[in-house]
Every structure is written in structure tokens, then in C-alpha cells.
Copies of this chain bind each other. A is one copy, B any other.
């Protein structure tokens, strides 16, 4: 199906571009903090009126939920790609460290982690999506570590679940520190130290 059956275009043609609005919202939430960006501010930045935004997204919760969806598709998916690439334990950890410490997209932190940190301030839909993504992330970390364990590359006395949670929290910590302006080299040093527990001789 093409865009042709979008409708007969009765009535005043819309000037609002939902994709562009979503881009503005995602970037604003991401660059500053979801709790510090008002619907009014997003309307102003996107050059649209409030009723237009509410007709498209229904509520602030609907907008932030849609912005988070977009973020998951465009940005977060890359972390899942790294985890599912099937590289070895050391190689994958190194790639994760690179991503968290030096990827320019994480320079202002991660929208998902920011939302998770301020979970109680989110609307119900957005919060539910945050928890969904959190669970998916944890499952991906666990699957990755389970594969490493199956390959015999695993320290004694550590469960895969605990390792997965630990790995996820260390990545989150590193990226959160990026947002607060910490020196990337220092972040890399600390994250490398934290993840060295997986690759002990």
C-alpha cells in the first residue's frame, strides 16, 4: 500500500508533521530531562499548537510513550544488536564499553535511563513501556551471558541473572555519568574496572 490511500483530503490540509514533532519531543526529552520538558515547550519548539499535538498523541503520556518508542527503535536497538551479534565475551564487553564511554550519541545520556530514573513521574503508558524495555534488556544481557557461560568463559560462584543485572546497571551508570559531563576517559576506566569481574584469569 502506498501513501495514496491516506484519505480524500477533505477539510483543511494538515501542516503538522507527526514524525517531526516526535523527533523534536524525543530530542528534547533526551537532551535535557523528560520531567523538565513541558508540553507547551514542545509545541513551541515544533512550531505547532497544543490542540494539534493532543489530537495526534492524546495526552502527555501518549506523547512521551511515542517518543520512547521512537528512541527504542532508533537508538536502543543498537545495544541489542551488540548483544546478539554473537561475538565472544571479551569482544562484546569491549564493544559495550566503547558504546557507553565514547559513542557521541550518549554524550547527553540515554533517554531510557533518564525515564527509568524518574519512573514515578511518568504517565502509566510510558511507565509500562519503560518496564517492558527494562525487562527486555535484562533478558538480552542474560542470554548473552548464558552463551558465554556455555562456552566455559565464566567466573565461579556467579549466577547468570545476577551477572546480567550487574552488567546492565554498570552500563546504565556509565551512560548516566556521560550525561553529567564526566570525562569519558574516566568513565571508560571505571566501566572497564567494573566489567573486569567477568574476565578474570
Q: Using a CB–CB distance below 8 Å, which chain A residues touch chain B?
A: 33, 35-36, 117, 119-121, 158, 162, 165-166, 169-170, 173, 177, 180, 186, 189-190, 193-194, 196-197, 200
Distance in angstroms between the alpha carbons of A190 and B194 in the assembled complex: 10
Find the B residue at minimum CB distance from A32: B120
Please report whether the interface of chain A is mostly helix, strand, loop or mixed according to DSSP. Answer: helix
Q: A166-B194, A170-B194 are in contact. List 8 more A-B contacts (CB 8 A).
A: A162-B186, A166-B190, A169-B173, A169-B190, A173-B173, A194-B197, A196-B197, A200-B200
Q: For A162, what are the chain B residues with a Cβ–Cβ distance below 8 Å?
A: 186, 189-190, 193
Find the B residue at minimum CB distance from A162: B189
Q: What are some 12 contacts across the A-B interface (CB < 8 A)?
A: A35-B35, A36-B121, A158-B193, A162-B186, A166-B190, A169-B177, A169-B190, A170-B194, A173-B173, A194-B194, A194-B197, A197-B197
Of A119, A121, A158, A190, chain B has the most CB atoms within 10 Å of the CB of A190
Given contacts A117-B117, A197-B197, contact A190 B173 (CB under 8 A): no
Q: For A121, what are the chain B residues with a Cβ–Cβ distance below 8 Å?
A: 36
| Smallest beta-carbon distance A138→chain B, Å | 12
Check if B166 sits within 8 Å of A193, measured CB to CB.
yes
Q: For A180, what are the chain B residues with a Cβ–Cβ distance below 8 Å?
A: 119
Given contacts A117-B117, A169-B177, A173-B169, contact A193 B197 (CB under 8 A): yes
| Smallest beta-carbon distance A109→chain B, Å | 12
